[in-house]
Amino acid sequence: MDPIVSLSDMPKPLPQLPGPKLAPFTPTAHAEIEFVEELGSPAVDMDSFVWKVRINGSTSFYALKMFRFYSSTYLRQTTGRYLNRPFASPRRYIVYFDPFNCECRAYGRLQAESRQDLAIQAHGYLLLTPEQEASVAIRISAIGPDPRDPRDALDVTDDPWDRMEEHYGQPVHAIVKDFATDEYEFSPNQVCDMWRDLEDLHKLGILVRDIEIVNYLGGKLIDFSRSWTTPHPSLEHIHPRDLRRQR
């Protein structure tokens, strides 16, 4: 007989803090995943590894973005440095600034406002099992320390997920997105629409903060890992000059 799972034990929308959240892709946040091929460039995608996948035997393809771990110290020294006053708890830097949580908040807002047309659509999050983590780690392209990434300069490990002591016991978090078949980031006739999309994102309280060519496919944003989504302390406790620069 299968064990009875109480509602309190079921995965909840994340992150667990005030504001928009992203629900799990499956009721348990786990799934059978067939890893087809790696997407993007590991040397450029500092926050994650993205793979073309099939999930639970589906014939459809998805893009699965699997996030590396960030330490609270690193987040406090980088994106958290804009705060007028520091957080009392190191954990708050992770829940507000960790790339996975940033994406959950942004996509949660797009879903709540029925504006998923403003980006490549996300469908929910998954938690990788240790076996899935190991399977991906074996197949990840071998890359050395990236001089542009301060984490690699401070802490070089053999763990592709960058786990530190504060992350032990936590599974790798991933977000399931539409698999984009577009060959190019954008075309010239899409630029006006891209600008309007960005203005609409700002009106929804999503400050993207990372507008790069590599973060677009087919004229649509595919990356919100550095975004701030209201309500957010960095949009409330920040010098107006710094906020203008972030915009």
Q: What is the mean pLDDT of each run of 10 residues along the chain (247 residues)?
A: 54 93 98 93 78 96 96 94 91 95 98 97 98 90 48 53 91 97 92 96 95 93 96 89 84
228 inside domain: no
41 inside domain: yes
235 inside domain: no
Output the pLDDT for position 155. 41
Tokens of 86: 């520091």
Output the pLDDT for position 242. 85
Q: Could you list the residue range(s) of the whole structural domain that residue 154 is in?
A: 7-180
pTM exceeds 0.75, yes or no:
yes
222 inside domain: no
Output the pLDDT for position 4. 47
Output the pLDDT for position 10. 86
80 inside domain: yes
CB 118 within 8 A of CB 208: no
84 inside domain: yes
Gap between the Cα atoms of 109 and 103, Å rounded: 10
Output the pLDDT for position 7. 54
166 inside domain: yes
3-class SS string, the chain: CCCCCCHHHCCCCECCCCCCCECECCCCCCCCEEEEEEECCCCCCCCEEEEEEEECCCCCCEEEEEECCCCHHHHHHCHHHHCCCCCCCHHHHHHHHCHHHHHHHHHHHHHHCCCHHHECCEEEEEECCHHHHHHHHHHCCCCCCCCCCHHHHHCCCCCCCCCCHHHCCCCCEEEEEECCCCCCCCCHHHHHHHHHHHHHHHHCCEECCCCCHHHEECCEECCCCCCEECCCHHHHCCCHHHHHHHC
Long-range pairs for 231-238: beta carbons < 8 A, 24 or more residues apart: 231/18, 231/19, 232/19, 232/96, 232/105, 233/83, 233/87, 233/96, 234/79, 234/80, 234/82, 234/83, 234/96, 234/97, 235/205, 235/207, 237/83, 237/84, 237/85, 238/82, 238/83, 238/84
For the chain, how many structural domains are there in total?
Answer: 1
64 inside domain: yes
